[in-house]
Structure 1
């Protein structure tokens, strides 16, 4: 893999072909398109439906006017696939940028698809020096990204469902809350499926609980007598007819959690297979505490297009790990970077925070940030920025992370050895 110095220059030409640019305002059901000339004058506008016929009509509209460059607000989806397959140059302008750019044209701030299409087209005409054409990742990277994001959504739903079940149990069966480590674990769900009312829980004794746990293959280290004491210490739940009615709600939550847990595992197996087949897997799986899912998330969110990030700083800024500096006159403020790729930032922060447990250099880097007065979140972002520089070099040079070649780590280890 070529290093950054040999990366293809991913820039737009000084002037658009045929002196024409187009903007497309993407929507769920239809899309507004506008074409402007070199002076910013509207040449043509149209609206097409979000159907196969509508997308073909869009290509015909652009081709008829000789347009080869298009600005749009999102980097993926059927519209993007259609434009790229037709050989058009696609430039992504984020929705936040479009919102800020409306004021340039005297808009009152109201959202109008046709006006936004014009704003996109004219921005592509006037701001070419700072815009870059979209270079899509390979299909296997896109598929891995979608699988990782789908798993993240399922985990989010699982946590929400577990919280709802916990709140429900606090009212009708408090003994089941905190009995095992995780409420959505296999043993917890099995317990709730078998002992869903206070009357059934009352039947248990230490011996009966131990026998039931043995049949379930319970591998926990907590003695059944201790677990039974937790049941006795908890407030009593609903009994009789009321308890039986409430058990129906409990069963609904348990069934939902079973499904979410199973589907999450199914996706994790799929992610594992996709990761094994990816050409960049060796880079991300070599990172400390990366595991499989975490490595897949990092790979998927960073992507495989090296030209997208010509410098480490470009990667750290998009990941939200670099501070945002605002300066006016003598006033200079450094703050949190809100404008970033939220999915990428989440993946990077999750990785960096956990490396403190496996990498002594990372632990020291984080500790020194905390010593300087930064809170946990800020310290993790500082550590994430340092890791992203390392990841960028490994990624650009197609090399796995090697602790022996990590000079900062080796210097820290040597200093610790000398101090000892």
Structure 2
């Protein structure tokens, strides 16, 4: 495997653009604006193409006629990027926030115009080559895993939202079911709501009838049926009679939607397991404490498998939003939250780091010391995430699993704990 320094050098752009031309593409949903500039920043050509297969072919043809080998664009994926890469064109990603700030170079109005943004992208690629890096895409296995993990995350968010809506609905029409079981979207809770969807039906339940029904459902909860029945009696009464019956379609709608979401989340979790098992880097991320399967898959998918993308641990921590943002002017120096980062990567890393402290004494010690210094929970977890990212980066670059025995900081904490 290449060293970090060699890897970093392999991702540098040449000092001068090939054929002395660069291009910028401002992508949109239906069409894309492209601009080509020469070595002095003069427009060579502009074009608009539709977001169709023929439109993308026309785009590649225009770029080819003008000898364009490098293109700047605002996003790292999608059909446009895939078409450019397939044509052998170097793609450089410049974020939308950067483009927004770069507009002031060319005028004070700051208006958004697709053709103008395409020019800004092309000219920035010409002038700022030393700080830009070409896009090196991840393998298809990583891209597929990333899309599956993000789809599952979206469905989980939908499930939480629908569960909250169901809970709010039940507080008005059937309060006794709220808090009856561990979770409102658990299988037993949804089955209960299917069978007992009105207060009148619930009123006919006795301790014995409830116990018999739970036994038929294979209820594995540790709460005695008598306690569950008492919860029903203690709760406010819900809607009865015709009014209660009129609310059952709403309850049934939420229940059906939650069942569908739970089934699809389970299906995607199975798919994630399969894709993770087939990935060459799976052993690195599954070796981390309390990484599990889905969490390990998310970390792998968001970090990717392109080692050249992160030549140093600092480059990874900055993109993940785990490194603080420092601002200094004269004697004034402030350190604040890093807003500009990869939000998906930060979410995956923070989720892992926050839970790792429950299984790793070093992580717990680092988190507790951060809390003792007065940091809140979120800040302490980011500090822990930054430390973990340095470890993950080294394991990732070397292709080795995390070994607690080789983690010297962990061993020092364990030694201190034994001495105490």
Matches within 5 A, 1:70-219: 70-219=71-220
Q: 1:107 to 1:57 in 2, by over 3 A?
A: farther
Structure 1 counterpart SS, 2:247: helix
> Which residue number corresponds to residue 32 of structure 1?
33
Q: For residue 250 of structure 2, what is the aligned residue in structure 1?
A: 249
Deviation digits for residues 269-323 of structure 1 (CA, Å, limit 9, x no counterpart): 0000000000000000000000000000000000000000000000000000000
SS at match of 1:7: helix
CA distance in structure 1 between the partners assigned to 2:19 and 2:153 by the alignment:
44
Quote how far apart the aligned CAs of 1:8 are.
Answer: 5.2
Measured against aligned partners, the alpha-carbon deviations of 1:14-62 in whole angstroms (never above 9, x if no partner) come to 0000110000000000000000011111010000000000000000000
The answer to whether residue 65 in structure 2 is matched with residue 50 in structure 1 is no
The residue number in structure 2 matching 1:4 is 4
Query: How far apart are the structure 2 equivalents of 1:206 and 1:3?
Result: 68
Q: Match for residue 346 of structure 1?
A: 347
TM-score with structure 2 length normalisation?
Answer: 0.99
User: What CA distance in whole angstroms lies between the structure 2 residues aligned with 1:155 and 1:109?
Assistant: 38
Alpha-carbon distance, 1:418 to partner? 1.6
Report how far residue 107 of structure 1 moved: 4.5
RMSD, aligned α-carbons: 0.7
SS of alignment partner, residue 33 of structure 1? strand
1:3/1:397 contact within 8 Å kept: no
CA–CA distance in structure 2, aligned partners of residues 246 and 333 of structure 1: 55
Aligned-pair CA distance for 1:7: 2.1
Distance 1:350 1:135, change over 3 A: same
Distance in 2 separating the partners of 1:43 and 1:363 = 58
Partners of 1:68 and 1:89 within 8 A in 2:
yes
The change in CA–CA distance for 1:2 and 1:213 in structure 2 (over 3 A counts) is farther
Which ranges in structure 2 are unaligned for 5 or more consecutive residues?
Answer: none
Q: How does 1:298-313 map to 2 (within 5 A)?
A: 298-313=299-314
Match of 1:218, SS state, is coil
How far apart are the structure 2 equivalents of 1:417 and 1:195? 55
Please state how far the C-alpha of 1:3 moved relative to its aligned partner. 3.9
Q: How many residues align?
A: 419
Instruction: For 1:348 and 1:369, locate their aligned partners in 2 and report how far apart those are by CA, in whole Å.
Output: 17
Contact 1:37 1:43 in 2 (8 A): yes
Shift of 1:203: 1.0
Q: State the match for 1:231 in structure 2.
A: 232
- Structure 1, unmatched stretches of 5+, are none
| 1:277 corresponds to | 278
How high is the TM-score relative to the length of structure 1? 0.99
Aligned to 2:61: 60
Structure-2 separation of matches of 1:114 and 1:154: 36
Tell me, yes or no, if the aligned pair for 1:2 and 1:397 is still in contact at 8 Å: no
Q: CA deviation at 1:110?
A: 1.4
Deviations 1:59-81 (A, max 9, x none): 00000101000000000000000
Partner of 1:336: 337
